[in-house]
């Protein structure tokens, strides 16, 4: 069975989620105290943020506990709760009351996270959250880039921050194809070998291709320049000997499995499906309809290739 649980094969992440459910702050703090990688820290914080109703507990902890961890987790949870209220529907299908509740959640998160980033400027998780809520508060592309650059002074080339800027620069968020593609290339070519920075370019291609009609999309994936950039991205990341991606290794291999499948190169997709097994990751499979069905169909072709 295909599993799109973000915790994937990591029992410690499932235990973290259970600790949030039972409101066990010592266990939560202990988990984050053992994480030094900013990408893994943000990934785990996002799991906490997805635990429904946890904002009350996290708010209580944030009032009594020293340091920035509880406030960071509270901010990320408020953003997730706000998006739950808004839903992923197009703006025209979101009611005024939904928008009001959505914006109130985001404004509260912004107040919390401004304090955190002022107190701890290198808090990557808090900065990523502020880049994400920038979109919902409609603060603009320049502000999104400013926040990304502020983070990059302390933690450069952080994939998940780049992914949020990609979303901000997409045409659907009032960006442009040229801008989002240029940013993806910038991330890939300035990032260190073996890093996740190349994923920003893949996500730019996903957004641009999946925004097209079926015939135009097929033409997009047949373009030699698109193929060359995806090959370059693979060589700089998942194929590089220095590749070490922590919790987001599944994300990386899912991205390349999808990209090579869309290119029609199912043999190139095969090693990525081998790496991920039954663990789907990310929301891009859902752009093809039912994510599990899309994953299964592409994997079946890769196995036969």
Residues 41/246, Cβ–Cβ less than 8 Å: no
Q: Is residue 141 part of a domain?
A: yes
- pTM as predicted: 0.95
Closest CA to 105 of 93, 115, 116, 97: 97
No. of helices (H) and no. of strands (E), the chain: 16, 0
Q: Is residue 49 part of a domain?
A: yes
Q: Is residue 98 part of a domain?
A: yes
Closest CA to 108 of 87, 122, 94, 129: 129
Give the whole-angstrom CA distance, residue 262 versus residue 258. 6
Closest CA to 3 of 281, 293, 252: 281
**Structural domain harbouring 64:** 1-152
**pLDDT tens per residue, the chain (305 residues)?**
899 999 999 999 999 999 999 999 999 999 999 999 999 999 999 999 999 999 999 999 999 999 999 999 999 999 999 988 887 777 778 788 888 888 999 999 999 999 999 999 999 999 999 999 999 999 999 999 999 999 999 999 999 999 999 999 999 888 999 999 999 999 999 999 999 999 999 999 999 999 999 999 999 999 999 999 999 999 999 999 999 889 999 999 999 999 999 999 999 999 999 999 999 999 999 999 999 999 999 999 999 98
Q: Is residue 202 part of a domain?
A: no
Q: What is the 3-state composition of the chain as percent helix, strand, coil, each rounded to the nearest 5?
A: 75, 0, 25
Q: Is residue 242 part of a domain?
A: no
**What are φ and ψ of residue 279, in 5° steps?**
-105, 100
Domain count, the chain: 1
Residues 45/126, Cβ–Cβ less than 8 Å: no
Residues 133/95, Cβ–Cβ less than 8 Å: no
Largest CA distance in the chain: 57
Half-sphere exposure of 296 (CA within 13 A, CB side): 8
Q: Is residue 147 part of a domain?
A: yes
pLDDT value at residue 90: 72
Neighbours of 60 (CB within 10 A): 14
Six-digit token pair at 18? 């259970």
Q: Is residue 90 part of a domain?
A: yes
With vertex at residue 196, the alpha carbon angle to CA 174 and CA 249, rounded to the nearest 5 degrees, is 115
Q: Is residue 127 part of a domain?
A: yes
Residues 126/116, Cβ–Cβ less than 8 Å: yes
């Amino acid at each position: 069975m295909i599993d799109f649980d973000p915790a994937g094969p990591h029992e410690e992440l499932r235990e973290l989620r259970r600790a949030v459910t039972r409101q066990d702050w010592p266990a939560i703090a202990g988990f984050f105290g053992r994480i030094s990688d900013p990408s893994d820290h943000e990934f785990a914080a996002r799991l906490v943020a997805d635990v429904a109703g946890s904002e009350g507990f996290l708010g209580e902890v944030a009032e009594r506990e020293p340091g920035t961890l509880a406030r960071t987790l509270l901010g990320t949870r408020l953003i997730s709760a706000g998006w739950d209220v808004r839903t992923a529907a197009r703006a025209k299908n979101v009611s005024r009351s939904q928008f009001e509740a959505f914006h109130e959640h985001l404004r509260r998160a912004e107040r919390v996270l401004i304090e955190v980033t002022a107190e701890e400027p290198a808090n990557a998780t808090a900065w990523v959250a502020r880049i994400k809520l920038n979109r919902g508060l409609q603060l603009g592309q320049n502000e999104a880039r400013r926040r990304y650059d502020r983070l990059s002074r302390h933690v450069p080339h952080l994939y998940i921050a780049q992914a949020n800027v990609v979303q901000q620069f997409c045409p659907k968020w009032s960006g442009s194809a040229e801008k989002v593609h240029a940013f993806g290339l910038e991330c890939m070519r300035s990032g260190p070998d073996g890093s996740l920075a190349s994923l920003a370019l893949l996500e730019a291609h996903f957004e641009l291709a999946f925004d097209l009609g079926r015939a135009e999309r097929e033409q997009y994936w047949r373009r030699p320049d698109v193929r060359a950039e995806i090959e370059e991205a693979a060589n700089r990341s998942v194929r590089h000997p220095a590749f070490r991606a922590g919790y987001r290794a599944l994300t990386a291999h899912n991205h390349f499995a999808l990209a090579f499948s869309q290119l029609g190169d199912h043999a190139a997709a095969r090693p990525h499906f081998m790496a991920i097994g039954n663990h789907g990751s990310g929301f891009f499979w859902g752009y093809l309809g039912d994510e599990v069905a899309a994953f299964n169909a592409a994997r079946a072709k890769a196995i036969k290739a």
